[in-house]
């Protein structure tokens, strides 16, 4: 028996880039946050962890980008609160479909539920509340409320910006909204799910007798953005918007070949 390890450390990028360069909100005043500049999450913004971050994974597959050969590993809805629950969508695969694959494609529902908030050291709250207008990387509250009003909100993502339903991240991974037939969405109304396509670092060739284990982990250390850009008239700033930031995604694939 020979064992091969394929380790992919990637970023699950639905709503922005990685959180590696984000500025944590903790210990900052509204004036300090307003003065922040960042090409990652935007100016006048910082990030905090979520109290609740529910997402539904719908399918996972290996894919050959040249032949369109497809090995659907699992197709089933599984909802996780990744702020507190262990994410374990695909355990060991026992029914191998032989083939050669150069990509992994993961699917998730485009409806999310989040809850969280932050109050600056000069007592300016910024919390999830009410009905949200979802856009790429940021959703604006119908009225920013106090920390006591913090509630769970349901966010339906339909685009990555006006007229944008796909993009390629800095690691050349494709993120796109797809319709119910798994074709790329052409309008907000046809956006049904989100598909993330990762190019594997090495081509994966599977035989019927192989054993494959897949572990996927989600981290939400910096998953909510807070923007302070509205002057309060007294030299400080009020919260202008609350946004959803991408969680960190790690995937490990282990193949055991019996020879």
Write the pLDDT tens digit of every residue in 109-146.
Answer: 988 888 888 999 999 999 888 766 554 444 555 456 67
Confidence of residue 16 (pLDDT cuts 50, 70, 90): very low
**CA 197 to the chain's CA centroid:** 13
Q: What is the pLDDT of residue 15?
A: 43
Q: How far apart are the C-alpha atoms of 247 and 244, rounded to whole Å?
A: 9
Most confident of the following: 63-67, 154-158, 169-173: 63-67
Residues facing 79 on adjacent strands: 56
Domain ranges in the chain are 2-257
Confidence of residue 259 (pLDDT cuts 50, 70, 90): low
Which residue is listed with tokens 């990030």?
Answer: 47
Residue 100 has pLDDT above 90, yes or no: yes
- Percent of the chain at pLDDT > 90 equals 29
Write the pLDDT tens digit of every residue in 34-80.
Answer: 999 987 778 999 988 889 999 898 998 999 999 999 999 989 999 98
* Whether the model pTM is above 0.85: no
Q: How far apart are the C-alpha atoms of 219 and 145, rounded to whole Å?
A: 27
Q: How far apart are the C-alpha atoms of 213 and 210, rounded to whole Å?
A: 10
Any residues with CB less than 8 A from the CB of 170 and at least 6 apart, and which?
17
Nearest alpha-carbon partner for 80 in 238, 226, 218, 222: 218
Q: What is the pLDDT of residue 257?
A: 66
Instruction: Please give the structure tokens belonging to residue 116.
Output: 């969280």
Instruction: Please give the structure tokens belonging to residue 113.
Output: 């539920």
Residue 22 has pLDDT above 70, yes or no: no
* Contact indicator for 100, 204 with CB cutoff of 8 Å: yes
Burial-class residue 42 by CB neighbours within 10 Å (0-12, 13-18, 19+).
middle
Q: How far is residue 233 from each of residues 43, 118, 163, 236, 247, measured CA to CA in Å? A: 20, 21, 36, 7, 35
């Amino acid at each position: 028996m020979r064992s091969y390890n394929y380790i992919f450390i990637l970023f699950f990028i639905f709503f922005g880039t990685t959180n590696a360069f984000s500025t944590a909100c903790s210990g900052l005043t509204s004036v300090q946050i307003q003065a922040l500049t960042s090409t990652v999450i935007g100016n006048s913004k910082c990030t905090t962890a979520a109290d609740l971050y529910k997402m539904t994974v719908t399918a996972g597959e290996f894919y050959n980008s040249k032949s369109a050969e497809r090995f659907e590993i699992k197709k089933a809805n599984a909802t996780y609160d990744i702020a507190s629950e262990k994410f374990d969508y695909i355990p060991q695969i026992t029914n191998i479909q032989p083939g050669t694959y150069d990509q992994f494609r993961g699917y998730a529902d485009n409806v999310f539920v989040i809850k969280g908030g932050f109050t600056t050291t000069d007592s300016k709250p910024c919390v999830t509340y009410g009905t949200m207008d979802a856009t790429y990387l940021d959703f604006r509250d119908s009225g920013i409320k106090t920390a006591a009003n913090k509630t769970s909100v349901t966010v339906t993502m339909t685009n990555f910006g006006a007229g944008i339903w796909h993009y390629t991240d800095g690691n050349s991974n494709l993120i796109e909204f797809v319709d119910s037939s798994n074709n790329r969405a052409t309008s907000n109304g046809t956006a049904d799910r989100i598909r993330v396509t990762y190019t594997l670092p090495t081509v994966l060739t599977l035989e019927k007798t192989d054993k494959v284990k897949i572990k996927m982990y989600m981290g939400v250390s910096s998953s909510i953005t807070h923007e302070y850009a509205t002057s309060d008239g007294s030299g400080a700033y009020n919260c202008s918007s609350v946004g959803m930031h991408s969680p960190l995604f790690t995937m490990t694939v282990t193949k055991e070949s019996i020879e």
